[in-house]
């Protein structure tokens, strides 16, 4: 009998629902929330209200696009955390209600594990691009920068992580001081393509092991702006592209140095990237370059599965369902990072 999972993602500012049957994606619907743009960041209370408005139409649309009837669902997977508590509560409460009314089990999903398992989403039954175990996954998003050693669908160990800011935050915060809007990552990426990555030198951390730090880079970026703005008030406007190119090159360098060290010391050559920052074209190029230079077999997800989406929740739920790891009805969300 086939296994059909409805996935629900509501951890931050995207309401998403997806249907996966036997590991193959049938639909993936995402409603993004424009309401936060004018605030320069996500406003938690507004996010949970928008989730409440979006969740019913988004789930209905995902079921419709999958071409199934809701009575064909085997189980409901939902994001339990980490994320914003109010936002997570909307998805969990909805999952509980639907699970009770359809009399089918629920599966809770860790958002970070879901980013990693996004690599197992099949778009067609014959897709065979999945990483083989063990592999390393660089998980880079607005809230996390981690190197994860993945030994099976349910065994993952975080071997390195940021001790302060995340890579996405470095992009977002530096973009904000340049007046480039929020989120800054995509704008920095676009401008970087027109600039010289060697125009400015920003500081790089030297901390032991596989851990990351991005706060020093942020500070050195701010000092560079401050020093030049004293001489020339139009400095940012005139040097936007070079600033973005140099910032992007430094972030990528920091990320790849530790990933290279981890790949070398664990002797793992199967290397994946996941999370919102993996949309960055410079980072993608760096992965291709490492594949050529070090013989890595690399896995880069399609853009649609890099940012928050329910397809990755549904695939994680699918594997948990197969292991019969169900969620109790009294499940509560968690906000902090755990994997
Ligand atoms: O995984 P994600 O969607 O969710 C959060 O963790 O919030 O990641 C969002 C992050 C933001 O920091 C955004 O600026 C960054 O991913 N991002 C990018 C690019 N696209 C999104 N950073 C660099 N280059 C990009 N092209």
Cα–Cα distance for residue pair 139/303, rounded to 1 Å = 14
Mean pLDDT of the chain, nearest integer: 95
Cα–Cα distance for residue pair 336/338, rounded to 1 Å = 6
pLDDT by residue (tens digit) across 171-206?
Answer: 999 999 999 988 899 999 999 999 999 999 999 999
Given pLDDT bands bounded at 50, 70 and 90, which one contains residue 292? very high
Measured from the CA of 171, which atom of ligand 1 is nearest? 14
pLDDT by residue (tens digit) across 294-325?
Answer: 999 999 999 999 989 999 999 999 999 999 99
Cα–Cα distance for residue pair 63/17, rounded to 1 Å = 9
Given pLDDT bands bounded at 50, 70 and 90, which one contains residue 339? low
CB atoms near residue 256 (< 10 Å): 17
The residues, ordered by sequence, that sit 6+ positions from 115 with a Cβ below 8 Å of its Cβ are: 139, 141, 274, 275, 312
Ligand 1 environment, Cβ below 6 A: 12, 141-143, 168, 171-172, 183-186, 189, 275-277, 279-280, 307-308
Rounded to an integer, the average pLDDT of 64-89 is 97
Task: State residue 150's pLDDT score.
Answer: 98
Given pLDDT bands bounded at 50, 70 and 90, which one contains residue 39? confident
The dihedral formed by the CA atoms of 308, 313, 314 and 317, expressed in degrees to the nearest 10: 180
Task: State residue 37's pLDDT score.
Answer: 78
Cα–Cα distance for residue pair 206/337, rounded to 1 Å = 24
Dihedral sign, Cα of residue 107, residue 110, residue 113, residue 119: positive
Task: Dump strand ranges (E) for 177-333.
Answer: 270-274, 297-299
Cα–Cα distance for residue pair 142/160, rounded to 1 Å = 16
State pTM to two decimals.
0.94
pLDDT by residue (tens digit) across 89-111?
Answer: 999 999 999 999 999 999 999 99
Measured from the CA of 182, which atom of ligand 1 is nearest? 14
Cα–Cα distance for residue pair 65/84, rounded to 1 Å = 28
Cβ distance 171 to 185 under 8 Å? yes
Given pLDDT bands bounded at 50, 70 and 90, which one contains residue 338? low
| Ligand 1 centroid distance, CA of 276 (Å) | 4
The residues, ordered by sequence, that sit 6+ positions from 5 with a Cβ below 8 Å of its Cβ are: 19, 20, 21, 73, 74, 75, 76, 77, 107, 314, 315, 317, 318, 321
pLDDT by residue (tens digit) across 129-176?
Answer: 999 999 999 999 888 899 999 999 999 999 999 999 999 999 999 999
pLDDT by residue (tens digit) across 254-267?
Answer: 999 999 999 999 99
Cα–Cα distance for residue pair 121/217, rounded to 1 Å = 35
Task: State residue 142's pLDDT score.
Answer: 85
Helices (H), 81-232: 85-102, 111-117, 167-177, 185-192, 215-231
Nearest Cα residue to atom 24 of ligand 1: 280
């Amino acid at each position: 009998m086939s296994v059909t999972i409805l996935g629900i993602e509501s951890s931050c500012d995207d309401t998403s629902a997806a249907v996966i049957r036997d590991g193959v994606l049938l639909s993936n619907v995402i409603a993004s929330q424009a309401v936060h743009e004018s605030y320069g960041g996500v406003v938690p209370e507004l996010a949970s209200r928008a989730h409440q408005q979006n969740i019913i139409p988004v789930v209905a649309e995902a079921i419709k696009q999958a071409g199934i009837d809701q009575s064909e669902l085997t189980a409901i997977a939902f994001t339990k955390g980490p994320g914003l508590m109010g936002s997570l509560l909307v998805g969990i409460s909805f999952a509980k209600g639907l699970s009770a009314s359809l009399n089918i089990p629920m599966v809770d999903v860790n958002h970070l594990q879901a980013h990693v398992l996004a690599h197992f989403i099949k778009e067609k039954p014959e897709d065979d691009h999945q990483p083989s175990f063990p592999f390393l996954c660089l998980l880079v998003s607005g809230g996390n920068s981690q190197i994860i050693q993945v030994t099976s669908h349910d065994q993952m160990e975080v071997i390195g992580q940021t001790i302060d800011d995340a890579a996405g935050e470095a992009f977002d915060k530096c973009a904000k001081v340049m007046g480039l809007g929020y989120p800054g990552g995509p704008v920095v990426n676009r401008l970087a393509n027109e600039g010289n990555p060697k125009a400015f030198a920003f500081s790089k951390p030297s901390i032991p092991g596989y851990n990351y730090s991005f706060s020093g880079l942020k500070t050195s970026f701010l000092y560079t702006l401050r020093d030049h703005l004293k001489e020339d008030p139009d400095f940012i406007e005139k040097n936007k592209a070079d600033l973005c190119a140099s910032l992007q090159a430094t972030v990528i360098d920091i990320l790849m140095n530790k990933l290279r060290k981890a790949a070398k010391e664990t002797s793992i050559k199967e290397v994946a990237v996941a999370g919102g920052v993996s949309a960055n074209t410079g980072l993608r190029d760096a992965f291709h370059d490492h594949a050529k230079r070090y013989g890595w077999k690399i896995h880069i997800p399609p853009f649609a599965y890099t940012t928050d989406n329910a397809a990755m929740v549904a695939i994680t739920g699918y594997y948990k369902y197969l292991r019969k790891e169900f969620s109790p009805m009294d499940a509560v969300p968690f906000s902090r990072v755990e994997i």
